[in-house]
A = this chain, B = another copy of it.
Amino acid sequence: MSHLAYVELAKSYRLLNHGPTVLVSSADAGRRNVMAASWSMPLDFQPPKVAVVIDKSTYTRELVEASGCFALNVPCRALAQATLAAGNQSGRDIPDGGEDKIRALGLRTFAASQIGAPLIEGCVGWLECRVLPEPRNQQAYDLFIGEVVAAWADERVFANGHWLYDAGSDPALRTLHYVAGGAFFTTGDGLDVRSPL
């Protein structure tokens, strides 16, 4: 991966703070998968934690529970079609023969630094997470809490803890915000506000 830069853990929440849709990647015992998730958010600054909803029906759920790890990958506009497809098909439905959902979606991966889950190429932010087991949340709400153990960003659009999106930046690298039915918004104009108080 070119343009890959380390993100300080204390600032890793900023990769999610503006509410982008993410891809959840996971792996266990030679199996791996990816799914889309609109329902994720930061949960703490330091040590950084995240929350994400992973439905019981998903193949990802099985791999996350078995491995105790997941990665949140922040896709950009260039990956919008793959992101939608990742949300519409289960990794269980991919025919055998060396194929898996990641490959079927035309996605490529690179190795994470702290966990076994693969990271998805072409995304613009990555959070490597270890599950903090909370059985009641997982059972009652499909809610997983993870501690962020490493974070990365595409330095063309995120550096020194800040997103660099401006009028001159490549629209294909804007992050995505899913609504429903194939409809996304991309991250829009920046707005720098000074508090009146």
Contact = CB atoms under 8 A, between A and B. Distances in A.
Interface of A: 14, 17-21, 38-44, 49, 51, 53, 77, 80-81, 83-85, 88-89, 104-105, 134, 136-137, 141, 143, 145, 161-163, 165, 174, 176-180, 182-197
B162 A179 contact: yes
Contact of A188 (B21, B137, B185): B185
For the complex formed by this chain, how many copies does it contain in all? 2
Contact of A80 (B53, B80, B89, B191): B191
Contacts of A51: 41, 51, 141, 143
Given A19-B18, A51-B143, A81 B186 contact: no
Nearest to A163: B179
Contacts of A89: 195, 197
A44 B38 CA distance: 11
**Residue from A20, A41, A165 with most neighbouring chain B CB atoms (10 Å):** A41
Given A18-B178, A18-B179, A38-B42, A189 B191 contact: no
B177 A19 contact: yes
B19 A81 contact: no
A60 to B, nearest CB: 16
Given A38-B41, A176-B191, 19 more contacts: A17-B179, A18-B19, A18-B177, A39-B42, A43-B143, A51-B141, A77-B191, A81-B193, A84-B194, A84-B195, A85-B196, A88-B197, A89-B195, A89-B197, A134-B137, A161-B180, A183-B190, A183-B191, A185-B190
A84 B193 contact: yes
A141 B44 CA distance: 8
Nearest to A189: B186
